[in-house]
Amino acid sequence: MSLTATADSALGVTPVPATSRRILALALPMTLANVTTPLLGFVGAAVIGRLGDPALLGAMALGAVIFDAVFWSFGSLRMATAGLTAQAVGARDAGEVDRILARSLAAGLLVGLVITAAQGPIAAGAFALSGASPAVIAGLATYFHIRIFAAPFTLANYAILGSVLGRGRTDLGLLLQVAINLVNIALTLVLVLWADLSVAGAGIATLLAEATGTALGLLLLARLGSRPFSVPFRVVRDPLALARMLSVNADVMIRTLLLVGAIALFSALGARSGDVVLAANAVLWNLFLIGGFFLDGFATAAETLCGQAVGARDEAGFRRAARLSLVWCVAFGLAVAALFLAFGAAFIDTVTTSPEVRETARAYLVPAALAPLVASVPFAYDGIYIGSTWTRAMRNLMIAATGIYAVAIGLAHAGGFGNMGLWLAFLTLLAARGASQALAYPGLARRTFAKPSGA
């Protein structure tokens, strides 16, 4: 057996060139996996919505936003792990793949325990910022103080998923995500409707599903030949390696915090318009998430293929992977937007039985349906930038886009555009991100593959 074949066997994957077939082979499993995530939100909203209390539906919506803010803030762990792993795979360094995984698991478990211990201050700040009614806060508190104990498992799952995706094993990513979400959906139905535990049942279901995912993920990695727990501690805490991982994580974390903050501001301003608008936005947000998770499959393909090309120093392969990822992501964004415009009203009626919420949600269906199309460009570039570990540039561009978003929010408020102004400001944020990333891309690519002077 050749040295290359031996390395590929240890990695659990054989890197292959970027083609449309390869893009789809990577993207579609993660698209299917990601669809189960908004399906989980849909089932949760539908189950709680069937209880007939708008305050409980609003509590679930705000709970989802708060945990998105808490956990997505550390979503950098998955993205950084995927990008660094993809580059190690491209360089055919199986040992480095395990070292990256060991550091990521240690970081995820540590941060998860800190989040759990700090649940009191987190809850106090989140509840105060939400601006929701006392009835919503009561349900939210019950949900929050149960689900928060899933934090160590959730962040460990980010590290596991990042390692799997960096290898290009989106089939295993599909298995992990579907398993977690199906367990969550099944337990939500049982605990909320059969055991009559209301929002507490939804929180318990998520906690148990995340723990199940961690156990399954570690088993799958072991079958791939990964031995992260055998990496010596002195190697895990290697200063140079840790500095690189922490730098990538910090940049992506800042970018993610800004994005989550923008979403949280959107939700908080919507909540101040009343429980009906809050519930309507929750329904439409699930619609956007369905589109967004479709697109994330192509971002994942870009992370994998661009990262592996950077690790292999293959400039032509990198540019081909970036171009194909953009083309396919935009094409799917257009298709999803068209489907939402055609069937969005039926979706709204399925999620909620409240006539007021249905009418309000229909009033803002068009901007919500267009959001996946506008988001397709920044989604694709996020994958390209993360796989290439251009995280500092991604962070800086997000800062600039957030400034534009703040101006758009201010103009919407000054003009009295209400909730429609919020949706238009959110579309502006997405457009600003995509445009700025496209402008910065050529220079970043040239610098990445520039030959050292004298070479």
Secondary structure (H, E, C), 137-201: HHHHHHHHHHHHHHHHHHHHHHHHHHHHHHCCCHHHHHHHHHHHHHHHHHHHHHHHHHCCCHHHH
Report residue 171: phi and psi, to 5°: -65, -40
Token pair belonging to 70:
């808490």
Question: How far is the CA of 394 from the CAs of 279, 351, 433, in angstroms?
Answer: 32, 35, 9
| pLDDT at residue 309, rounded to an integer | 93
Question: Is residue 115's pLDDT more than 60?
Answer: yes
Sequence length of the chain is: 455
**316 in helix, strand or coil?**
helix
CB-hemisphere CA count at 13 Å for 184?
26
Question: How far is the CA of 131 from the CAs of 135, 246, 266, 268, in angstroms?
Answer: 12, 34, 12, 6
- 3-class SS shares of the chain: helix, strand, coil, % to 5: 85, 0, 15
| pLDDT at residue 36, rounded to an integer | 67
More confident residue, 197 or 131: 197
- In sequence order, what are the residues at sequence separation of 6 or more whose Cβ sits closer than 8 angstroms to the Cβ of residue 185? 36, 39, 40, 43, 205
| pLDDT band per the 50, 70, 90 thresholds, residue 442 | very high
**Contact by Cβ (8 Å): 100, 81:** yes
**Contact by Cβ (8 Å): 168, 26:** yes
Measure the CA–CA gap between 377 and 392, rounded to whole angstroms.
19
Q: Over the range 417-444, which residues count as b (16 or more CB within 10 Å of their CB) and which as e?
A: ebbebbbbbbbbbbbbbbbbbeebbeeb
Question: How far is the CA of 369 from the CAs of 27, 262, 284, 287, 422, in angstroms?
Answer: 22, 19, 8, 8, 14
Measure the CA–CA gap between 233 and 22, rounded to whole angstroms.
37
| % of residues, the chain, pLDDT over 70 | 92
Question: Is residue 3's pLDDT more than 50?
Answer: no
| pLDDT at residue 378, rounded to an integer | 96
Token pair belonging to 141:
């508190």
Token pair belonging to 300:
């994942």
| pLDDT at residue 215, rounded to an integer | 93
| pLDDT band per the 50, 70, 90 thresholds, residue 100 | very high
Contacts by 34-37 with C-beta closer than 8 Å and gap 24+?
34/177, 34/293, 34/294, 34/296, 34/297, 35/290, 35/293, 35/294, 36/177, 36/178, 36/181, 36/182, 36/185, 37/177, 37/181, 37/289, 37/293
**237 in helix, strand or coil?**
coil
pLDDT digits 0-9 by tens, 147-195: 899 999 999 999 999 999 999 898 998 899 889 988 988 898 888 888 8
Question: Is residue 228's pLDDT more than 60?
Answer: yes
CA nearest 69: which of 197, 261, 338?
Answer: 261
Question: Is residue 131's pLDDT more than 80?
Answer: no
| pLDDT at residue 1, rounded to an integer | 36
| pLDDT at residue 177, rounded to an integer | 87
| pLDDT at residue 53, rounded to an integer | 65
Domain ranges of the chain: 17-237, 239-445
- In sequence order, what are the residues at sequence separation of 6 or more whose Cβ sits closer than 8 angstroms to the Cβ of residue 226? 12, 97, 98, 101, 163
Secondary structure E strands in 179-333: none
Give mean pLDDT, residues 57-72: 78
Measure the CA–CA gap between 169 and 167, rounded to whole angstroms.
5
Residue 23 identity (one-letter amino acid): I
| pLDDT at residue 6, rounded to an integer | 42
| pLDDT at residue 331, rounded to an integer | 94
pLDDT digits 0-9 by tens, 387-412: 999 999 999 999 999 999 999 998 98
| pLDDT band per the 50, 70, 90 thresholds, residue 4 | very low
Give mean pLDDT, residues 428-446: 96
